[in-house]
Amino acid sequence: MASSSSSCNTIFLGFFVYLSLAHLTIFISANKVYVVYMGSSDNQDPDHILTRNHQILTSVHSESVEEAKAAHLYSYKHGFKGFAAKLNDDQALQISKMEGVVSVFENKKRKLHTTHSWDFIGLGEEETMEIPGFSTKEQVDVIIGFIDTGIWPESPSFSDSDMPPVPPEWKGICQSGEAFNATNCNRKLIGARYYHMGYEAEQQQQQQQKHAKLNQKHLENTDDPKKKLSFRSPRDSNGHGTHTASTAAGRYVAMSYNGLAGGGARGGAPMARIAVYKTCWDSGCYDADILAAFDDAVRDGVHIVSLSLGPDAPQGDYFSDAISIGSYHAVSRGITVVSSVGNEGGKGSATNLAPWLITVAASSTDREFTSKLQMGNGVNLKGESLGVYEMKAPARIISASIANRGFFTPYQSSYCLESSLNHTKTKGKVLLCRHTERSTESKLAKGEVVKAAGGVGMILIDETDKDVAIPFNFPAAIVGKRMGNRILSYINSTRKATTRIFASKAKIGSQPAPRVASFSSKGPNALTPEILKPDITAPGLNILAAWSPAIGKMKFNILSGTSMACPHVTGIVALIKAVHPSWSPSAIKSAIMTTATVFDKKGNPIRVDPDSRRGNAFDYGSGFIDPTAVLDPGLVYDSNPTDYKSFLCSIGYNQKMLHTITRDNATCKTKPFSNHPSSLNYPAILVPNLKSTFSVTRTLTNVRNLKQEMSYSYRAVVSTLLGIEVDVHPRRLVFNRYGQKMNFTVTFRKNSAPSQGYVFGYLQWKNRKTRVTTPLVVRVVPSNLGVVV
């Protein structure tokens, strides 16, 4: 299985078929699929939407009904309006100019962002996942929709033992298909659908000469990924969807990975219901299918949507992005949407940037998988590995650069490229290889190269993702650059350097944790820098969960990626919904963000791999999630659909565009619309272009019931921001009833010696019981640059 951090296997989950989130349309030119988005469905008759879509398609096909029908893939008509279709560029351009069309965009591919983790977070071992002071038993009424690669329904993680009947308000279906029928659903897995038209249209375009199609013949297990099948059904042949669903809501089961990390494991909300929407196939996830899944999920009645997938960075405009569009209309209907931030690792690489999304970064737990490296000079080192193979005796170790073959240079062979190694020089030896890519496949491939050339082991130098454990199929381990140079020095110090690589073992508590994973995409938000992304951090490194036996005949697997972090937050959202079913998506997000911690388990500031630098809000958002505090945050920053309309106005959407999206009478001239995106009532305050003075107003809502006390009083505490003066008014807030709202204003002033770049701090509203923490991020613009803010 590819690592979740692999760009080629990353999923960001993200026509006349019913959908219901907004007006949307997709076209495939003669050789393309396009999506046409037409804004909110506004409770319009689905048949009327279908008729309008039909008229549009017919008009650009010279009034040919047959050609329009052949071009059509999906119609979206439940949460929003629009359709997907096969069109040429001229037809797409014509439609983009029609009345009522918000945007027309190509059917882009999204990538997958691809246990003990719950113990590490702080939830108990029992399956009900009770949190002191609160009962989460109502999670049986919470339905989570997963937009992913499907599910392996026979996994014990999805057993419905002792679960009550399906909630009566559920409107979803269990869609039959290849190796999957209605009997595969139960009281746990209550719904399953699959979407393939957007994917197949792209495959037909890209592989016309090869006539590539989904294999529809028969179910077959294979260890050869080249022979892996794709089931035209909700059944998961990839493993990713099964892994994410079980991480968020899997039942308590005994599991291990080839004997490693054995014990009991479960999801965050093990009694919550699961509905799967399979949109992701071997080559990725396509916009047309993702939007169809969102539309059905809204109609079916899910409470939460989880997507461990997303676009490449930099992300495009919100309403030319399937995940942003689908989630906007879902959130407008009270559905919380959780997404992964991406696995590109660099500054400004964060994706899933919309403020209505909860966007999750990845961090470590305190469990690592290491192999002992016993060097011939008596020094014992360790490397990361999931390998169960070990060397029976020491063998000579050499640098791969001296094992070059034929026309390959020493530099090329040092990376153990295919065919680059000389068999005579490699046979019987351990090779020290270098690595620069992020994908699991490329690391496994290097092991295969060394093994095929006669090597008996490999040590791989990989500074970027050195903590990501890989399931090598012969003795091998990964080390960082510093340790790699140490090993190289030993090799160069003697003609008889040797090493012995041992099998991997799981070890707990040997390193500071959590640490932000090196692959986790970072801020600032490249689309709207006033909105913090990521929002929160959760475990995403070396996560054990259920798996599809179609891949390697394994029932469980260990993966790394923000794909694995996302369902940890999804599970906690389900617990919040169980205790506070009336809370809005923004209130839930606020509770998660304002109760997070920026300290590791030893009380030190969270660090960032691979160089252990001190982290900041662009690395981990508001911090590492704390499920023991989210159910009682005290105060929340709440927002409603009107606030998001205000936000759209502030970033340049005009009245006509706003009306097309929302289908109501809202205008950018109507209060409370603001003229600055920083004014959105977000649980973080970012000012990216401060030139002199700037003020931001926020509203806090009391969500704690008053008991013996007559009121709750909070005082403001502000950390120091280098080079910036911060004033909060008022400094004290007093709440005397549940649901009461109070405003405060934060004013930022540049002082005489401002710092360069972004500075980070926090505002905390605190009393004896509670701390409501808000990240503050400010960048001073030099006086000769930028605009006055």
Question: Is residue 620 within 8 Å of 598, Cβ to Cβ?
Answer: yes
Question: Is residue 230 within 8 Å of 236, Cβ to Cβ?
Answer: no
Q: How many CB atoms lie within 10 A of CB 783?
A: 11
CA atoms within 13 A on the CB side of 435: 28
CA–CA distance, 609 with 376 (Å, rounded to integer): 29
Told to judge if 600 belongs to the known catalytic residues of this protein, a careful annotator would answer no
**CB neighbour list of residue 203: distance below 8 Å, 6 or more residues apart:** 212, 213, 283
* Paired strand residues for 766: 715, 771
Question: Is residue 558 within 8 Å of 388, Cβ to Cβ?
Answer: no
Residue 166 vs residues 142, 143, 154, 269, 592: alpha-carbon distances, Å: 10, 10, 18, 16, 28
Residue 761 vs residues 88, 516, 587, 724: alpha-carbon distances, Å: 50, 18, 22, 11
CA–CA distance, 359 with 308 (Å, rounded to integer): 10
pLDDT, position 212: 44
- Could you say which of 148, 296, 465, 643 is catalytic? 148
Phi first, then psi, for residue 272 (nearest 5°) are -75, 160
Told to judge if 159 belongs to the known catalytic residues of this protein, a careful annotator would answer no
Residue 466 in tokens: 């050195």
pLDDT, position 255: 67
Phi first, then psi, for residue 221 (nearest 5°) are -90, 140
pLDDT, position 253: 87
CA–CA distance, 490 with 488 (Å, rounded to integer): 5
Torsion of the alpha carbons at 101, 105, 111 and 113, rounded to the nearest 10: -40
Q: How many CB atoms lie within 10 A of CB 656?
A: 11
CA–CA distance, 431 with 428 (Å, rounded to integer): 10
pLDDT, position 466: 61
Residue 542 vs residues 105, 145, 439, 467, 506: alpha-carbon distances, Å: 36, 24, 14, 9, 11
Digit-coded pLDDT (tens) for 428-437: 999 999 988 6
**CB neighbour list of residue 639: distance below 8 Å, 6 or more residues apart:** 584, 586, 680, 681, 682
CA–CA distance, 192 with 212 (Å, rounded to integer): 25
Told to judge if 317 belongs to the known catalytic residues of this protein, a careful annotator would answer no
CA–CA distance, 423 with 453 (Å, rounded to integer): 5
Tell me which residue of 244, 228, 9 sits closest to 115, measured CA to CA. 244
Low-confidence ranges of the chain (pLDDT < 70): 1-31, 114-133, 207-229, 255-264, 437-441, 463, 465-466, 509, 670-674, 708, 783-789
CA–CA distance, 611 with 201 (Å, rounded to integer): 44
CA atoms within 13 A on the CB side of 282: 17
CA–CA distance, 719 with 89 (Å, rounded to integer): 53
Residue 783 in tokens: 């006086």
- Could you say which of 240, 329, 580, 659 is catalytic? 240
- Could you say which of 324, 563, 646, 678 is catalytic? 563
pTM of the model: 0.86
The label of the residue with tokens 């909300």 reads: 269
pLDDT, position 126: 52
Q: What is the DSSP string of 506-521?
A: EEESSS-S-EE-TTS-
* Paired strand residues for 508: 367
Residue 334 in tokens: 């009270």
CA–CA distance, 551 with 236 (Å, rounded to integer): 10
